[in-house]
Amino acid sequence: MGSSVRDLSFDSPSLRSGGSGRTLVAFGLGLILLAACGPKSVFGLTSDDNNADALGKALAVRKLPSAPRYHNALGKPLVLAVVSGTPKKLVAWDADAGAALWTVDADVQSRVSVAGELVVAREGKQIVVRNVRDGKQRGAISVGGDLVGATTDGDQVYVTWQSQGATKPKWTLAAFGPDGGERWRNDAPGALGAPAAQGGLVFSPFLKQWLSVLDARSGAQLTRVRGIDEEIAFVRITSDATWFGSKAGIFRLDVKAASGTRTGSTYGTTQLPAQLTSATYDRDAFDPVQAGYTAFDRKRILWRAAASGDGFAFEGDIVAVHFFRFLFGMTRTGELKWAYSHPRVELVASEHAGNVVVAVGADGSLVALDPASGATRASSKLSAGGQILGATFDCDGWAPASAGDPPATVQALVAIARDRDARFDEIKQFAVGVLAKLEGPDVAKDLLAIVQDGRTPAKLRESVIELLVARKDPAGLPSLLAALEPRYDFITGSEPVAVAVVARAVGALGDRGISDDDRAKAIKVLAAQADDPATPAGDRFELVRAMIAVGQGAERPRLRSLLMMERADPALGREAKLVEVIALALAAGSAEDRETLRFVASDARTVDAVAEVARAALATP
């Protein structure tokens, strides 16, 4: 068993209180004696930070495969899923074959880690080590505190936990053999994050400021990276590289990382729409809650980046954002490339495995999507007799044979916008914003359906109205006119819905160069709805305004007819805005239009309010 080490500078009350010189001398002599008797502390506030030479030497001994591959010794793309029930179960699922390799009863209380022959997770109060081939237990580890994280590299198990010392909390990182025997241990006076291990190295975030690189065999620190302009909240292992970072961005652990800065390192980040910014690049390694599967796993940025070469580049210049039931393919600048809506249930876990984005639903439905197009490359159903509570993927480099069909992005966006779950309100705003930028008749129809649905939240409905009017897509005109075809029928109870909104959207197309035939159709439909006695005054005003905007003069015979027929009706006199817009349109028209307006202004049968507006319009320069 290795020696326990600690940073002695935190354990002296005299130093903390600024004690006497005699005490300081005695303490200094003690440090000299202790330094001569034992190893130097691993986790402390002082160290040889950001040493490029030391980092380069440490990374040089790291053993990495020549190409991305699975961590497990079976050579299969695995999903280790935790299934609800009494007792809970742990299932090893072969994603390629679409079949379970084994299922065991296991009270899993943490994330599952897999590498080589080993599968590791906290079960009950112990860290249990299982064989990846059959799930049988090989060893158990007891830790005296709250688990921060556990992982394995296939040779050893590495566990970080927090416990209460004599006077203050203490954090511990220790290595164990597959049988549970301890091999080395390092204590820390400040917070340690969940560890990661790869190719003979162990990586441990410390106080969100440092990333310590340790020798896996001895636990000795080889070097350390100190974040200068960004905290270090996570460390992530892919089969071909090591990454670390925070909510702000990602660093590749290469020699450049010794700069400790974004500009001096191989660093990358992505822009996301405001509605998706709560998604994170990885879990917070310092949060004990996230040592297990939680809701944090359902709001994530799924990414893969080049493991070598100059500069940081997301593969394909695309990341995927997992948000509960939905997956979005986004460019680095925040442009949506595709959207996927998972049927019926939430996706409880997901990962970018290089060739595919893999996700599993609460019902066990497993899907693998092409990162560039969103096409479904594989799907299967994990049947284990319960609900999937969480999962770990070991699918690095998995390339399913199926090319798959691209996702129905428009339908996915519509499904999101019309989802009844109040948690998705912000995502609905995002979905309709993207939807409104797309062209085609179906988009206008889908947006209208959202507006016309009485269950649509008021705020979302207002947003869709604004977007529908602003999009100005001539291809959507048939759908808009179709929405105005229904008539008020008091016997059947039918009526057109959102007439004013549709009219505004039609009117917005007035400057889009629509054909004469489409213009004539629009005028006919708008006029028919405006002439319906059951049409409310406010709707009629918007209908006539739309006629004028889209008609470009062709609507004036309709306006003349309306004004002549209703000029003596007191009800028209009460629609001051409507009369004004008609009068101004005719005043700007032909000689025949102005003659009609003069007749209305002078005819004794015209109600005073209408005649007054007609005279004012004729006097307009």
Q: 339-374, pLDDT tens digit by residue?
A: 999 988 999 999 999 999 999 999 999 999 999 999
Share the mean pLDDT of the chain. Answer: 90
CA 619 to chain centre: 59
Give the predicted TM-score (pTM) of the model.
0.82
Tokens 């709707």, located at residue: 539
Query: Are the beta carbons of 395 and 353 closer than 8 angstroms?
Result: yes
Long-range contacts made by residues 492-501, C-beta under 8 angstroms, separation at least 24? 495/534, 496/529, 497/451, 497/452, 498/448, 498/451, 498/452, 498/465, 499/529, 499/535, 499/536, 499/539, 499/542, 499/543, 500/538, 500/539, 500/542, 500/543, 501/451, 501/465, 501/468, 501/469
> What pLDDT is recorded for position 288?
92
Please check the confidence at residue 495 and state whether its pLDDT lies above 70: yes
> What pLDDT is recorded for position 35?
38
Higher pLDDT: 422 or 578? It is 578
From CA 501, how far away is CA 512, in angstroms rounded?
18
Best CA proximity match to 432, nearest among 452, 422, 418: 418
> What pLDDT is recorded for position 177?
98
Please check the confidence at residue 1 and state whether its pLDDT lies above 80: no
Least confident of 1-10, 161-170, 251-260: 1-10
From CA 440, how far away is CA 477, in angstroms rounded?
10
Please check the confidence at residue 491 and state whether its pLDDT lies above 90: no
| Degrees to nearest 5, angle at CA 13 with 11 and 15 | 90
Please check the confidence at residue 156 and state whether its pLDDT lies above 90: yes
Q: How is the chain split into domains, by residue range? A: 8-37, 52-394, 463-618
Please check the confidence at residue 494 and state whether its pLDDT lies above 80: no
> What pLDDT is recorded for position 518?
93
Please check the confidence at residue 557 and state whether its pLDDT lies above 70: yes
Tens-digit pLDDT profile for residues 103-152: 999 999 999 999 999 999 999 999 999 999 999 999 999 988 899 999 99
Best CA proximity match to 560, nearest among 512, 595, 533: 595
Tens-digit pLDDT profile for residues 34-72: 333 334 568 988 888 999 999 999 999 999 988 899 999
User: Tokens standing for 419?
Assistant: 């989802």
Please check the confidence at residue 19 and state whether its pLDDT lies above 50: no
- 44: alpha, beta or left? (left if phi > 0; alpha if psi -120 to 50): beta
> What pLDDT is recorded for position 620?
84
Mean pLDDT of 65-87: 94
Higher pLDDT: 550 or 45? It is 550
Least confident of 82-86, 279-283, 328-332, 479-483: 479-483
Query: Are the beta carbons of 114 and 120 closer than 8 angstroms?
Result: yes
> What pLDDT is recorded for position 225?
97
Best CA proximity match to 376, nearest among 346, 356, 391, 361: 356
From CA 337, how far away is CA 335, in angstroms rounded?
6
Please check the confidence at residue 26 and state whether its pLDDT lies above 60: no
What stretches of 38-150 show up as alpha helix (H) in DSSP?
A: 52-60
> What pLDDT is recorded for position 41?
67
Q: Which helix (DSSP H) or strand (DSSP E) does residue 613 occupy?
A: helix 608-618
Residue 404 contacts by C-beta under 8 Å, 6 or more apart in sequence? Answer: 369, 370, 375, 376, 377, 378
> What pLDDT is recorded for position 375?
94
> What pLDDT is recorded for position 36?
37
Tens-digit pLDDT profile for residues 454-474: 888 888 989 998 988 888 889
Percent of the chain topping pLDDT 70 = 93
> What pLDDT is recorded for position 500?
92
Q: Which helix (DSSP H) or strand (DSSP E) does residue 519 occupy?
A: helix 516-531
From CA 419, how far away is CA 271, in angstroms rounded?
25
Torsion of CA 314, 320, 323, 325, to 10 degrees: -160
Fold of 52-394: Methylamine Dehydrogenase; Chain H (2.130.10)
> What pLDDT is recorded for position 468?
87
Confidence of residue 11 (pLDDT cuts 50, 70, 90): very low
> What pLDDT is recorded for position 410?
87
- Count CA atoms closer than 13 A to 19's CA, side-chain side: 12
